[in-house]
Amino acid sequence: MALYLHNTLSRSRELFEPADPERVTMYVCGPTVYNLSHIGNARPPVVFDVLARVLRRSYQLVYARNITDVDDKINAAAKTENVEIGVVTARYFAAYLEDMAMLGVQLPDLAPRVTDHIPQIVNLIERLVAAGHAYEAEEHVLFSVASYPEYGHLSGRALDEMLAGARVDVAAYKRDPADFVLWKPSAEDVVGWASPWGRGRPGWHVECSAMVEVHFGETIDIHGGGQDLVFPHHENEIAQSTCVHAGRLFCRYWIHNGLIHVESEKMSKSVGNVLLLRDLLSEAPGEAVRLALLTAHYRQPLEWTPDVLAEAQQKLDRMYGALRAAGVSGVQQHGGADELPPASVVDALNDDLNTPRALAALFKLAREANRETDPERRSAIARSLRAGAGLLGLLEADPEAWFVDSAASAALAAAEIDTLVSRREQLRKEGDFAAADQIRSQLEKAGIVIEDSSAGSRWRRAR
């Protein structure tokens, strides 16, 4: 298999070749745990979960997704509640894990937390200072962008250009307006740690450089995150890590996902168009949210409209329907080792994770399965469909349960429904269609749809 990925560093599609032919290291920027996740926060974990699933087929993967648990937004939230920051971060980290589980996101191999790496962060900053790449000024330690000529390479901007449009006042203690903070002082009432520069806390960008170094060493294969992190976050990471390692390559492939649009613009609190994952998950199964996130290619912006979720559910109905009709039952074993994913799906994903094309391939398989009359062949196609979907983290639930366990209607218990359905079947056999139809419409009112077939009647919850 040949996997191609779009590398932000080169702005082009590249053949993926890890430094170690058998082992791949991947680091993805995880959440800052100071509030509940919105749908935009969910895209990177889902996208990189798919990438991880693809990579694990061919390599031993070590996937790290960090937790930022010290940050000024966290500090502000803790202060508002008058609690330690740990209270805030523990709460929202737990919520994050719950949300991710609902989306079918597998746990990364490592989930490093910033507060567990303070000594290593301080140590990294010390080395940057010693090497002349950073300097202390008014209790801050700043990275000197002038000491790194390649600065701006990832985001494709030149230092002088950045100043032209600067919208913020530059702190007086900066040697260069683009210099950024590695360490900053903490006031008495703000969380802080002892350091050579006094009591303080790390700046935003160093944490990732330090945690990558601790867990992976100097060079990683893949670094991922949202497009909005390219500058300044990832640019600064490259500067720090490259400089502290005497110019050696920090990351081989930079992968960035596009942002989600709501009403044609980015979600933000100021616009008031933030969609909380929690709310969406109460409207639809997590799997539908996941599928919705995968309907667009990961590098494209995704238009999130009210229809997107409903359509994702319909798509899942169609695919699960094909599985159910083909007699596929039970929960998908993770890995799905019994059946190889079809080439059409694998090829699409190997082409820079083209999930829309992969989904199109899955729908073709669903149609093929529905069309096939031979039970053996039909089941084989359906199992292949499921194996392919498994690479996307989809169709892992029991097909029967998908239709029956929908939260949309719990007016009637399954046992009651079964009783009514079999009574109706009896009436149909006796030719009493009027009475049979009456039961059907009674069930319809309760949100139950009947599907008759030569093999008997079955039912599902209406959407």
Partner RNA sequence: GGCUAGGUGGCAGAGUGGUUAUGCAGCGGCCUGCAAAGCCGCGGACACCGGUUCGACUCCGGUCCUAGCCUCCA
Question: Taking CB under 7 A as the rule, does residue 150 contact RNA?
Answer: no
Q: What are phi and psi of 163, to 5 degrees?
A: -70, -30
Contacts (CB under 7 A) with RNA, residues 358-387: 359-360, 363-364, 366-367, 370-371
Question: Taking CB under 7 A as the rule, does residue 297 contact RNA?
Answer: yes
CA–CA separation, 362 vs 387, rounded Å? Answer: 10
Find the shortest distance in angstroms from Cβ 172 to RNA.
Answer: 16
Find the shortest distance in angstroms from Cβ 324 to RNA.
Answer: 8
Quick one: 331 or 360, whose CB is closer to RNA? 360
Q: What are phi and psi of 375, to 5 degrees?
A: -60, -40
Find the shortest distance in angstroms from Cβ 438 to RNA.
Answer: 10
**Could you say which of 18, 24, 26, 44 contacts RNA (CB under 7 A)?**
44
Q: Tell me which stretch binds RNA (CB under 7 A): 17-25, 253-261, 279-287, 326-334.
A: 253-261
Find the shortest distance in angstroms from Cβ 342 to RNA.
Answer: 14
Q: Which residue has the tokens 């600065």?
A: 151
Q: Which residue has the tokens 């719950």?
A: 98
Let me know: does 326 contact 405? Beta carbons within 8 Å.
Answer: no
Counting beta carbons within 10 angstroms of the beta carbon of residue 222, is it exposed (0 to 12), middle (13 to 18) or buried (19 or more)?
A: buried
**Could you say which of 126, 283, 311, 405 contacts RNA (CB under 7 A)?**
311
The DSSP secondary structure of 275-319, one letter per residue, reads: -BHHHHHHHS-HHHHHHHHHSS-TTS-EEE-HHHHHHHHHHHHHH
Q: Tell me which stretch binds RNA (CB under 7 A): 113-121, 156-164, 238-246, 410-418.
A: 156-164
Q: What are phi and psi of 108, to 5 degrees?
A: -70, 165
Question: Taking CB under 7 A as the rule, does residue 120 contact RNA?
Answer: no
**Could you say which of 78, 141, 323, 325 contacts RNA (CB under 7 A)?**
325
CA–CA separation, 75 vs 71, rounded Å? Answer: 6
Quick one: 59 or 383, whose CB is closer to RNA? 383
Question: Taking CB under 7 A as the rule, does residue 228 contact RNA?
Answer: yes
Find the shortest distance in angstroms from Cβ 450 to RNA.
Answer: 5
| Residues whose CB falls within 8 Å of the CB of residue 241, separated by 6 or more in sequence, listed in order | 209, 212, 213, 218, 250, 251
Find the shortest distance in angstroms from Cβ 56 to RNA.
Answer: 22
Question: Taking CB under 7 A as the rule, does residue 266 contact RNA?
Answer: yes
Cα 331–335–341 angle (5° rounding)?
100
Quick one: 218 or 405, whose CB is closer to RNA? 405
Q: Tell me which stretch binds RNA (CB under 7 A): 49-57, 103-111, 117-125, 219-227.
A: 219-227
356, containing H or E segment: helix 355-371
Quick one: 105 or 302, whose CB is closer to RNA? 302
Let me know: does 183 contact 203? Beta carbons within 8 Å.
Answer: yes
**Residue window 423-442: x/- pattern of binding to RNA, with contact defined by CB under 7 A:** -----x----x--xx--x--
Question: Taking CB under 7 A as the rule, does residue 452 contact RNA?
Answer: yes
**Could you say which of 209, 257, 350, 406 contacts RNA (CB under 7 A)?**
257
Could you tell me how many helices (H) and strands (E) the chain has, helices first?
16, 15
Question: Taking CB under 7 A as the rule, does residue 300 contact RNA?
Answer: yes
Contacts (CB under 7 A) with RNA, residues 65-104: 73
| Residues whose CB falls within 8 Å of the CB of residue 22, separated by 6 or more in sequence, listed in order | 59, 60
Question: Taking CB under 7 A as the rule, does residue 112 contact RNA?
Answer: no
Cα 441–409–402 angle (5° rounding)?
105
Question: Taking CB under 7 A as the rule, does residue 146 contact RNA?
Answer: no
**Could you say which of 15, 80, 82, 168 contacts RNA (CB under 7 A)?**
168
Find the shortest distance in angstroms from Cβ 62 to RNA.
Answer: 21
Q: Which residue has the tokens 């993926």?
A: 16
Residue 399: CB atoms within 10 Å: 24
Q: Tell me which stretch binds RNA (CB under 7 A): 76-84, 141-149, 163-171, 326-334.
A: 163-171
